[in-house]
Structure 1
């Protein structure tokens, strides 16, 4: 590898990680008069970017409004499938809960989109933004705090590029190099579970219903997709997950049928099956000197409630809003890495993060309990919950990302005041 470029790239904001959250943050910041660089390890627009795989993501109405503001929604709308009802049940038990968009006064509770589709739309928008410099493929090897800047050393092919940023943003995933370079650790709780992800077809149309069924092996989710398909996320122990991938399609569909039942008729086809280990990872801190942490670098959640991406996206646009307000207050003398803005970001995000992490982790632990009395109580609770509109309203608001202070972009308002 050759020596570093002697002329550093000097910017206001350097975003490490061009996945779904990092790319969204870059687009949000493009609306401000800031010099922004996005550093991504995969080639520009590469289909093999880890975040842009064939997994499906349930995005909230707040996230849809954010994508509308970023100019991304028109590029993915045709590939997005509305969730109009959610049905939650416990295998072999009487408890169930239903949430209907109409009861909440909504046209939908959210949408399901394939990650690859979202990634392609985000990168297409990035190409159209001249104010954003993209370094790709480029990998941050180290970061060092210097006077008034973070100095990032980025490997590009056989050379090294130096970036000096007033503010560095870690959006580079659960094993964030940038976070670690700042000396910030993380805690991880291994759920000792693996998510098996695939697409399936059934005899009956899904009718825009998302199903979550809790089984002895782990949660099973079926999410409505385009062309009548269903996105399957089925959680197992690592050993059982390997066994499930080894089954023939016919054998696998028979197991799925036996577990889910015939609410959708018979399952007729299954696509490729992929495995993803599951854990809860939380950063020890969310800001440091001239550093902010967002998305999976801040927290990585179990997919049981489909909240990980929505939470990370709110991280991104909340930070963008703090910087927009800072620009307005600074009257031209603006330092994006000023500790005042970072503290505002940290304090704002604390409640939302805490609520969603506790909600998601609590669901995993509650529905993993094998004890008979606990199963009986949780099923009685699910039935009672189904009859209590106020409780359902509260859950739907939490899952839609409408609890606590909501970012302007998630409300359909402009990023900047006025």
Structure 2
């Protein structure tokens, strides 16, 4: 079989689905290749994770017509509390100081996935699912994509292929694009806790001797926990009983929210900084986790991927207005140059936090605590930190 598209998106999840929705009012013929059935998607444990959405991300989702339907299931972040356990350094950010209702939002990934999946059903785009890409070959005017759907092989053509198929991107592998990998030798322990006190719309980032500990508000008395530490320490904590783990967590976090109790099982995820060697090939672009996977310390992963999709949609719409080839190499090169700054700044920001706060070396510990105090007292620096928290500090 042969089907022709202007744009073929490989991966219909959060980032790929958002790209398709951003282009729904354009004349583009869009196809979406998705490997997972709806049943398989709903069974994935990754759907249970909490997403910290920057204010800029919420605005993008609102423009896509998604946010208004999920806002009631999200928890606003009106305060951010940053501290270094056992030391004097603290910084606090408040939405009211910026004259806004919230610095960001916390939402369960599956809630957002479900809404995007529902919206995709109403699109004119063609969904090829469940299906996997097994071959790619770019020509002067189009890229030919071979897709395996059950026992059937489909030969699809498109002016541009966008790979949004995650960290194990099949498209990236078929193009033999290498990755730069930095293993942090760390594991993120993810769970949920019930709290004795009302979280009061506050997100906590607490730097402990073991590693960064984030508590994100899910409900008035419930938080998502992301605790990063060295692999060996994480293995030991994951093997502890629930009561011992809770005691360790309580000691690390303190009693800012009173006593805490585990509210879900614990899971461990190894942490690496992964970047594809290049973002574009002939008539192919990589976006989201297919291109980059970063440390979760600042919660920027999905926010960065959504900015990839939103910016691409803007550039494609401009390209269409002049009736120009959307897969032209010069156009793709301009997109790559424009996105590199955001990617580099985001990686530098998260990397700097890890380097500064994952050590107990006394001079560095003293310097970072002085920096936290300075941030709390110096309005220009505090405004810059707030812009990063809201997802504006990385914009072009």
TM-score, scaled relative to structure 2: 0.96
Task: Name which of structure 1's ranges 382-391 and 171-180 shifts more when overlaid on structure 2.
Answer: 171-180
Kindly report which structure 2 residues correspond to 1:18-417, keeping only aligned pairs within 5 A, or say none.
18-44=12-38, 46-48=40-42, 52-129=46-123, 131-330=124-323, 334-403=324-393, 405=395
SS of residue in 2 equivalent to 1:242: helix
The structural deviation recorded for 1:246 is 2.4
CA contact (8 A) 2:210 2:228 kept: yes
The structural deviation recorded for 1:49 is 6.7
User: Partners of 1:46 and 1:67 in 2: how far apart?
Assistant: 24
User: Partners of 1:373 and 1:151 in 2: how far apart?
Assistant: 57
User: Partners of 1:51 and 1:257 in 2: how far apart?
Assistant: 25
CA contact (8 A) 2:178 2:276 kept: yes
User: Partners of 1:48 and 1:118 in 2: how far apart?
Assistant: 12
User: Partners of 2:357 and 2:393 in 1: how far apart?
Assistant: 24
The structural deviation recorded for 1:68 is 1.3
CA contact (8 A) 2:54 2:103 kept: yes
User: Partners of 2:317 and 2:43 in 1: how far apart?
Assistant: 29
Change (3 A) 1:147 1:329: closer
CA contact (8 A) 2:199 2:220 kept: no
The structural deviation recorded for 1:42 is 0.6
Structure 2 segments unaligned to the other structure (5+ residues):
none
Moved over 6 A (4+): none
User: Partners of 2:253 and 2:220 in 1: how far apart?
Assistant: 21
The structural deviation recorded for 1:135 is 1.2
Q: Does 1:11 align with 2:13?
A: no
Change (3 A) 1:292 1:116: same
SS of residue in 2 equivalent to 1:140: strand
Across the aligned residues of Structure 1 and Structure 2, the Cα RMSD in angstroms comes to: 1.6
CA contact (8 A) 2:75 2:105 kept: yes
The structural deviation recorded for 1:227 is 4.9
